[in-house]
């Protein structure tokens, strides 16, 4: 059975550094026989959560836009690779809007006590790619905490992080061969590893 891998790029910049690493990770997954799909959030119409709390009763979001399509893809995929630049020490706005809209999944799962994944789903796993321009490694702490709870809602094992700091100029990551190599390797390992690790594998590069 072919493994499905969904890549979500939160970068507002086309072919930004995190976006380029995501493409390498997807190439790694594809080299292992996975069927990959790439989605760029800036190409979609996803509005912020309006905190109407309708989802507390229905488990569904009342705001109709591209979120419903992407939510279905997130729940149907086997593995997920999520890439974001770091803005003000956390995920960028495009990423946070999507994550906030997943409040309806949280309500479905934890308030209504209904399963999100009804078929298969025993080995759903994800990796996170984050790239920031600061030299501080502390900037990844908020990113990892946010992604931990986002992936928990999606019923996904948090398998790996590729965290690269001190990279800011457009396309600068292409001059960082170790980062592109690690992205490919981790993308491939996401598919080929027999089981996800107990704790995320952390690769931090400067």
> Which CATH number do you get for residue 48?
3.40.50.360
Residue of 3, 9, 41, 42 whose CA lies nearest to 24: 9
Give pLDDT tens digits for 137-174.
788 999 999 999 999 999 999 999 999 999 988 889 98
Among 75-84, 116-125, 177-186, the minimum mean pLDDT is found in 116-125
Task: State the residue range of the domain holding 96.
Answer: 4-205
Number of domains making up the chain: 1
Which pLDDT score, from 0 to 100, does residue 190 have? 97
Residue 120 predicted with pLDDT over 70: no
Higher pLDDT: 1 or 67? It is 67
Residue 122 predicted with pLDDT over 80: no
Which pLDDT score, from 0 to 100, does residue 14 have? 86
Residue 121 predicted with pLDDT over 70: no
Q: What is the mean predicted confidence (pLDDT) over 76-85?
A: 97
Cβ-contact 19, 52 below 8 angstroms: no
> What string of DSSP letters covers the chain?
-PPEEEEEE--SSTT-HHHHHHHHHHHHHHHTT-EEEEEEGGGS--PPP----THHHHSS-SS-STHHHHHHHHHH-SEEEEEEEEETTEE-HHHHHHHHHTHHHHIIIIIS---S--S--TT-EEEEEEE-SSS-TTHHHHHHHHHHHHHHHTT-EEEEEEEE-S--STTGGGG-HHHHHHHHHHHHHHHH-SS--SS-EEEEE-
């Amino acid at each position: 059975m072919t493994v499905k891998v969904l890549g979500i790029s939160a970068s507002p910049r086309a072919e930004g550094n995190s976006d380029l690493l995501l493409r390498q990770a997807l190439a790694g997954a594809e080299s292992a026989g996975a069927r990959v799909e790439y989605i760029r959030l800036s190409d979609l119409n996803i509005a912020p959560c309006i905190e109407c709390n309708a989802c507390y009763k229905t488990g569904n979001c009342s705001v109709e836009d591209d979120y419903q399509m992407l939510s279905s893809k997130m729940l149907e995929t086997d593995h997920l690779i999520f890439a974001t630049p770091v803005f003000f020490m956390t995920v960028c706005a495009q990423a946070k809007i999507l994550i906030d809209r997943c409040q309806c999944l949280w309500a479905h799962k934890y308030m209504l006590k209904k399963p999100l994944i009804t078929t298969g789903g025993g080995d759903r796993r994800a990796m996170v790619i984050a790239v920031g321009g600061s030299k501080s490694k502390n900037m990844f702490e908020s990113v990892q905490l946010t992604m931990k709870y986002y992936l928990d809602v999606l019923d996904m094992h948090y398998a790996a992080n590729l965290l690269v700091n001190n990279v800011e100029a457009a396309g600068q990551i292409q001059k960082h061969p170790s980062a592109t190599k690690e992205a490919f390797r981790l993308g491939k390992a996401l598919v080929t590893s027999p089981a996800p690790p107990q704790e995320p594998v952390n690769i931090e590069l400067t």
